Structure 1
Amino acid sequence: MRTGAAAGHAGYYHTAGCFGSDEELLGLAVPFLTDGVVSCEPSVVVLDDRNAELVRAALPAGAEVTFLPGGAVYERPAAAIRAYRKILAGHVAAGASQIRIFGELTTVTQGVTWDWWARYESAINQAYDDFPLWSICAYDTRSTPRAALADVMRTHPRTAMPDGQYLPNAGFTDPHLYLSEQRPLVPDPLQASEPTVELLNPTLSEARQAVHAADRGHVASMEVEDLVVAVSETVANAQRHGSGPVQLRLWSGTDRLVATITDAGAGPDDPFAGLLPAGDGTNGGLGLWIAHQSCNHVALHRHADGFTIRLTAGNPHH
């Protein structure tokens, strides 16, 4: 049986929790978690080390709350979805009627890679909706950029307040609409220079060779090989599901490799492509999902001339 604010709710009860002080953080976290413990509901915390220790110290001694490292869980959005679905399925199989998660994206995710984490926050409204999950996604208003907070209000149906209220977000946008919106692609500074490699209508073999040709030894070899796979899959998608010509560009920096694949099509029909399991793999879903698993950042951009995917290996946080 569902309890608390989620009582009577079917599926995912997705809330944002904005806080501006340690006291407000604890006001959100402690009652939420202790009520879960009292109700014998699996309760999970995913915070950075400092905030995790604050919450741990404020909980009653012996409270059965599981703490997971935020940096490990929130490495890549598609991987986070896969990991959470496994955790949730395990709790449901063990008989849980509700699972509580109090989580906080790491500060670094709110920088240049925020676009795919905003897509994550929107997509999980569907990705977790077959589980009896109640989560509070915590955002520190002192450090979260204003634009990111605006996205938080659009991707969460409701906001948890430190005084215990749960208020609907008037700006909440259905994930199908939010994920289909056209957004500008924030350029990587490397893209201000001439590409290291530029190919028009490459074969898959040429695309793979191009990644190796652009590699200057500044990126771990395993990440380079992951980029090889992602570029090959993305070029194949563009050729199969997009409209020609297909253009591949690669830039090499001191800490990263950046690839863009552009075609004249409109991009995938499925707005969740890349973040959720690919289903039957039609219209590019499988290749995008592989790219989201393989790269340290994937940016999607629908524009007047077509559709561009940017893939980053190495450090995407420039």
Structure 2
Amino acid sequence: MRTGAAAGHAGYFHTAGCFGSDDELLGLAVPFLTGGAASGETSVVVLNDRNAQLVRDALPAGAAVIFLPGGAVYERPAAAIRSYRKLLAGHVAAGASQIRIFGDLTAVTHGATWDWWARYESAINRAYDDFPLWSICAYDTRTTPPAALADVMRTHPWTALPDGRNVPNAGFTDPHLYLGERHPPTPDPVLDGEPAAELIDPTLSEARQAVRGADRGHLASTEVDDLVVAVSEAVANAQRHGSGPVRLRVWSSIDRLVVTVTDAGTGPEDPFAGLVPAGDGTNGGLGLWIAHQSCNHVALYRHDDGFTVRLTAGDPHH
């Protein structure tokens, strides 16, 4: 039986919890977690170290709450979805009628890589909807940029307030609509310089060679190998499902390699492409999902003259 604000709700009850002080954070977290524990529900905390300690200290001694390291979970959106689905499936198999998760994205995700985390927040409305999950996604209004907070309101159907109320978000946008909009990524200053390589309609072998040729040896070989796989998938998708010509460009800096693959098409039909594997991989879904597993940032965006996949290995937090 579902309890609390999620009582009577089927599927994922997805709420945002915005707070402007430590007291407000605890006002959101403690009743939510203790209520779950009192009902015998699985209650999980996935916060940064500081906030996790605040919550841990405020909970009653012996409270049945599981703490997971936030940094390990929120490394890449597609990996987070995969690991959470595994976690949720395990608890449901063990008989859980409701699972509560209180978590926050690390502050670094609010910067250069926010576009794919905003996509994550929208996509999980579907990705977790086959589980009896109630989550509060905590956002600190003191450190979260206003543009990111605006996306939070559009990607969460509900807002949890520190006084215990849960109110619907009037601006919530259905994931199919939100993910289908144009959301240009934060510009990367590396792209202001001349590319180390630029190819038109490259073969997959030529694309792989271009990436390896741009590597200056600053990145771990495994990161370069992963980028090569992702670029190969992106080029194959553009050739198979896009409209020519396909343009590959590679930039190199001391801390990252950035590759863009552009074609004249409109991009994948599936708005969830990359974050959730799409069946057998037709329409490019599986290739983009592989890229999301392999790179430290993947940006997908439509523009007036086509569609671009931007892939980053190394440190994307410029």
In which range does the TM-score fall when normalised by the shorter chain? over 0.9
Shift of 1:187: 2.0
CA distance in 1, matches of 2:17, 2:217: 42
* Code of the aligned partner of 2:77: P
State how far apart, in whole Å, the 1-side matches of 2:210 and 2:316 are.
20
Alpha-carbon deviation of 1:219? 1.1
Q: Measure, in 2, the Cα distance between the counterparts of 1:34 and 1:183.
A: 38
Q: Structure 1, unaligned stretches of length 5 or more? A: none
Give the aligned CA root-mean-square deviation in angstroms: 0.5
Deviation at 1:308, TM superposition (A): 0.3
Report what 2:156 is aligned to.
Answer: 156
- Aligned mates of 1:203, 1:299 — CA distance in 2: 22
How many positions carry a matched residue from both structures?
Answer: 318
User: Does residue 190 of the first structure (1) align with residue 211 of the second (2)?
Assistant: no
**Which residue does 2:313 correspond to in 1?**
313
Identity across matched positions, percent:
82
Unaligned runs of 5+ in 2: none
- 2:232 matched to 1:241? no
Aligned to 2:215: 215
TM-score w.r.t. length of structure 2: 0.99
Q: CA deviation at 1:255?
A: 0.2
SS of aligned partner of 1:278: coil
**Can you list the C-alpha shifts for 1:140-159, whole angstroms capped at 9, x where unaligned?**
00000000000000000010
Deviations 1:152-196 (Å, cap 9, x if unpaired)? Answer: 000000100000000110000000000000122332101000100
Q: Which residue of 2 aligns with 1:125?
A: 125
More deviation in 178-187 or 60-69?
Answer: 178-187
Q: State the partner residue of 1:23.
A: 23
Counterpart Cα distance in 2 of 1:207 and 1:186: 25
Q: Name the structure 1 match of 2:47.
A: 47
Where does residue 116 of structure 1 map in the other structure? Answer: 116
* TM-aligned CA deviation for residue 278 of structure 1: 2.3
**Residues 276 and 289 in structure 2, CA contact (< 8 A), matched pair in contact too:** yes
2:155 and 2:183 map into 1 onto residues whose CA distance is 15
SS in structure 2 at match of 1:164: coil
- Tell me the residue number matched to 1:288: 288
What is the rounded CA distance, in whole Å, between the counterparts of 2:139 and 2:249 in structure 1? 36
User: 2:85 matched to which residue of 1?
Assistant: 85
Spell out structure 1 runs of 4+ moving beyond 3 A: none
CA displacement 1:188-245 (0-9 Å, x = unmatched): 1010001001011000011111110000011111000000000000000000000000
Other structure's SS at 1:179 match: helix
Counterpart position of 1:258: 258
Residue matched to 1:106 = 106
Question: What TM-score comes out, normalization by structure 1 length?
Answer: 0.99
